[in-house]
Structure 1
C-alpha cells in the first residue's frame, strides 16, 4: 500500500468519523460501504466480523479492508469525536466528569489520595466513559472503552521489546522476521516518533523526568528516551503557547484532545477509508456459537451512552476475529466453552494470564528538587535496567500532573514475572473471574523495591506512602497491561487460529503469555500484522 493511498484512506476515514459524531450515529462507514447485510430472516450477516477496535482489531480491520473483505467491527464503547459542553471531547484528570469512567458513580484513578486526603476522585453521573477499572479479587485491570480501545487512555509509550525477551516469551515466532518486517510496520502504522533531545533538556514540562534521571544516575542506573505516539512536534508548540494544550493540560488516562495518534487517528480511519469496513459502536458481544452451515453467530446488546438497552442483535459471519482485549476475548471464549456453545475449545483457554509485572511507586524528592507545576502527560524517559539478568526492570518515569508543585517522582515499573493467573467461568454471573493471589504480586514488588531502595539510599530520599491507599509504597493490586488468556501456540496455532474451530481467530494481547517486559501495544500491533498477513493469504476467500 503506497503512502499516498494510505493518507487518502485515512482522510476519508476521519471524515466518516466526523460525520458520525456530528449526527450522533452509532454506525460509522465511508460512503456506500456495506460490511453487513440483513437477510430475510432478520439476522445481520457480514463476511467478516472483528470484535473490538483496539490494537490487534484495528490492524486486522485495515488489512481485511485493503484485501477487499467486507468487515463489521463491533465496539462496546462509543466514538470519541464530539465535543462536550466545555468544547473538548475528553475531560482532564484534574476536572473529571461523566466522560471519564465507564458507568461509575465515582472516578477510580490509580492514585487514591494525596497527603492521605480524598482530593483526587470525584462523584460523577454513570455514563459510557472512556476508562474502565475492572475489579477482580486481588487485581484490578484498567482498560479503554471506545473506538480505539486502550490507545485512548494510555501514555502512548511505544516500546519495542528486547529481542531476547520476545524470543523467550514467543519462541515459536520467527524473531528475525518480526524485527525486520513487522515491528517496523507497526511503528510506521502507529505514527511512532521520538522527542527532540535538545528540546527535552530545556522544556519545563519535562523537569520531572530530568529530576528522576539525575536521581537514577546518582544510584548508578541509566535512562533511555522512549518513543511515543504523541506528536512531539505538537507538544513543543503547546509548550510555546502556539496551539491548544493537551499533554500539558493534565490529559492522560481520561483521553487526550490534541496531539495523540491514538488508533482513531491512525489505523482505524485508514481501515474505514478502504470502503469495506463498518464500525458499530455501543455494541457488546455477549455470546458466540457455531452455525450448522459453517461460520459463527454472535448475539450482541446495543445500549445508549447512559446504559439503556436499545436493541438485542444477532450477527452472522464467515470469519470471526476476536480483538476484545485480554479480558474480553478470554471471557467470550471461556463462556462459549463452558456453556457448550463451542465445547471443543482448548483447555488452554483462560490460562497463562499476567499483569506484565506492573508495579507503581513514588518517591519524595528534596525541596531543592522541584518536579514542575506543569508536567507533560506523555512520558518520554525510562529507567532502563532490562539488561540485568537477575532483576530486569523497565521503569517509566511517569507524570504527576497535579497543577502545583509536589516534589514527587512517580514510576510505573515493568518487572520480569513468571507469575500467571487463570480465569474460571462463574455460571451464576455469566462472567469470567480472575484467580490471582496477592502473593503473586510480591516478586514484582521485590524487584521494584530493589531498584528504588538503591535510588533512595543514594539520594537520601524516601517513598511516598500517601498516594495508593492503605499506606502502601508499592501499588501491586492493579495493572495497565493485561496479557494472556488465549496464548499463541497453545490455545491457538502459531498465527492466532483458535484450535478446533475453523475461521475463528484471536488478534489481541490475550495471545501474549503474561509478560513482555515493556509497554505491550507495539508488540500486539506487530504480532497482529504478522498473523493477519498469513491468514489473508491462506484462509480468506475474496
Structure 2
C-alpha cells in the first residue's frame, strides 16, 4: 500500500510537470525546482550521471527505476510532448481526417489500410511536421513507430498481452521464466495500469459487434478466441458510449494518437519517473553519435530541432551510464553507426542481427451482406483468435476494427505468426543510416501461416478475402509493413543476459532490440517486464555498488 501511495503521488507530480511544460511551450520537462538540477557543466558541455535515449517502454522503465534509486537521469526524445491542443482543441488528429500532426515529416500520410475499393481514401496531403506516427520505409519492409514522449505507446492499440510461457522460454531461454512470470510481468502490468473489458458490456454494446461477428465465424471453424487486456480505460469507454465524456476510441482515434482514454506511458511510467524529481526529459533532441572517452564516460552529440525540423542547436552531453531505449530501429542504428565509424570500435558482430517483424501479417475478409460488422466500431481491439497451439502454423490474430463510420462488411485482422526468418541491419556510409536486409520472400512463412488460419474461417463461413485494402494491387495479405519491430541487439549475443552491451562498461540496451525477432503476441508488456528485470540488476550491481 505504501508503495502504491508513493507511485500515485509521484505520478501526480509528474503529470503536473508535463502540464506545466505544455502550458509554457517548453522542450525541457522536469518536476525538479530547476530543470537542470540533474546536470553540471564540464568542458563546455553537460554531464549527467545517467542518460536514457528515448521515452518508449524500456526507456521509461529505466528512467523510473533510476530516479527511484536517486540517480539524476536525463531522457533524450527526438519527438515532441503531446499534450498541447491544436487549433481544433484536440492534441491529436483523428484517423478519418488526418492533418500534419499525424505523421513524422511526411508530405502525405501513409496509413496501413492504403485503399478501399482500390481508391486511396484514407490518406491526405500534409505539411512536413514532427507528427506522432512514422513509417520507416526500407527496400522491402516498412516499420511503424511512434514519435513523441511515450514512443509507441502513443500510437498502438494498447493490447497488453503476456506471451505464452512456453514460447517465451523458447525465444529467451537464458532468462528465468519463473522469475519473469511471478515478479516482472505482474509488476509491468500493474505499473502500465492494464485492465480488462467488462465482458457483459462487450456482449451487448454496438461498438464491438465487429468483434462478436469475427468470434462467431472463428467458432464455426473450430477456433477459439480470448479477451485481451488493454491500457485503455474501459470505464472511460463505457462513458463514451453513454455520451457523458468526449469520444476517443469511439471516435476512430488510435494510430495517430488518442485524445482521451488511453493510459500511454506519459500517464504511467514517465509521469512517475518525473515525479521522483531526479528525471528530466528533453524533447526534440536527437542523438546523432556516441563515443566513449578515455575516462570511460560517454560523449553524445545531439541535435535540437523545432517541430518544423529546423536544427536549433548542436549539443554535447556526457554521462557515466548510458541506456539505449530508442526502439529496435533507433538503438540498433546508433550502435551500428558507432561500430562502423569507429567511435565504439569494440562492439561485436552481433549488432544489427536477429531482427524480425514479430510475424506481423494484416489481412481482411469479406462478409455476407446479411452479416454486417456495424457502423459503430471501437478503435481499441478487445478480442483475439488464439491458435498458437497449432503445431504446423501457430497464429495469434487480433480482431482489428475498421472504424470507417459506415457499414463495410469487412472483418480485419492483424495476425502474429511464428516466422523463423530474421533480417540484418547494415550501415550505409553514403546516407549515414542503417539499411535493413530483408526480402518479401522471408515473409512467406508468415503469410502461409495466416492463410492457413483464415482459409479455414472462409471455408466454414463460405466467405472470401478482401483484395482492395492494401494498395492498388490484388492483394489479400499485407506483408510489407509491421507494427512490432524486434531485435537488432539480441540479449545474450549483442549484450549479456541483462542488456549490458558487449565490449563496453556502463552501456545498456533496454528496449525491443533485445528480443530476437518474435514473441508471439503484442510485445510491449514483454519489453516492459524485461526492462524491469534488467534495470533491477543493473542498479544493484553497476550503480549503487559502484
The question of a shared fold, defined as TM-score above 0.5 by the shorter chain, is answered with yes
The residue aligned with 2:501 is 498
Q: For the Cα contact (< 8 Å) 2:38–2:279, is it kept in 1?
A: no
* Partner SS, residue 425 of structure 2: strand
| Counterpart residue number, 2:454 | 452
Report how far residue 220 of structure 1 moved.
Answer: 0.8
- What does residue 479 of structure 1 align with? 482
In 2, the alpha carbon distance for the partners of 1:264 and 1:373 equals 32
Inter-partner Cα distance in structure 2 for 1:24 and 1:374 = 37
Q: In 2 relative to 1, CA 339–236 (structure 1 residues): closer, same or farther, beyond 3 Å?
A: same
Q: How many residues align?
A: 542
Per the alignment, residue 150 of structure 1 pairs with 152
Cα distance in 2, alignment partners of residues 538 and 149 from structure 1: 28
Greater shift in the superposed pair: 61-70 or 30-39: 30-39
The equivalent residue for 1:61 is 63
Hey, what's the Cα distance between the residues in 1 that align with 2:432 and 2:298?
20
Cα distance in 1 for partners of 2:374, 2:47 equals 54
2:47 and 2:33 map into 1 onto residues whose CA distance is 17
Give runs of aligned pairs for residues 55-454 of structure 1, distance below 5 A: 55-454=57-456
TM superposition outliers: structure 1 runs of 4+ over 6 Å: none
Q: Over residues 466-501 of structure 1, what are the superposed CA-to-partner deviations in whole Å (9 max), with x where a residue is unaligned?
A: 000122100000000000000000010000000110
Determine helix, strand or coil for the equivalent of 2:239: helix
Deviation for aligned residue 1:232:
0.6
**1:239-276 deviation digits (Å, cap 9, x = unpaired):** 11111100000001000011100001100000000000
- State the 1:31 CA deviation: 3.1
Assess if the C-alpha contact under 8 Å between 2:32 and 2:278 holds in 1: no
Change (3 A) 1:277 1:414: same
- Tell me, in whole angstroms, the C-alpha distance in 2 between the residues paired with 1:539 and 1:49: 15
Deviation at 1:16, TM superposition (A): 0.4
Q: Secondary structure at the match of 2:321?
A: strand
Q: Which consecutive residues of structure 1, in runs of 5 or more, have no partner in the other structure?
A: none
Question: 1:46-96, CA deviations, whole angstroms, 9 ceiling, x for partnerless residues?
Answer: 000000000000000000000000000000000001111111100100010
Separation of aligned partners in 1, 2:442 and 2:296: 42
Name structure 2 gaps, 5 residues minimum.
Answer: none
Contact 1:53 1:149 in 2 (8 A): yes
TM-score (norm 1): 0.99
In 2, the alpha carbon distance for the partners of 1:372 and 1:90 equals 25
Deviation of the 1:36 alpha carbon: 3.9
Match of 1:8 in 2: 9
Q: In the aligned structure 2, how far is the partner of 1:119 from the partner of 1:502?
A: 51
C-alpha distance in 2, partners of 1:505/1:37?
21
Structure-2 residue corresponding to 1:26: 27
Superposed CA offset, 1:348-386 (max 9, x none): 000000000000000011111111112111100000001
| TM score, norm. by length of structure 2 | 0.98
> Out of 527, 537, 543, which is 1:524 matched to?
527
Deviation string, structure 1 residues 102-139 (Cα, Å, up to 9, x no partner): 00010000011101112110001110000000000110
* CA displacement at 1:526 relative to structure 2: 0.1
Determine the C-alpha separation between the residues in 1 that align with 2:376 and 2:157. 16
SS of corresponding position for 1:248: helix
- Is contact 1:296–1:318 with CA below 8 Å preserved after alignment? yes
User: What is the root-mean-square deviation of aligned Cα atoms in Å?
Assistant: 0.9
Name the counterpart of 1:512: 515
Tell me the CA shift for residue 35 of structure 1.
5.2
Deviation larger for 140-149 or 113-122: 113-122
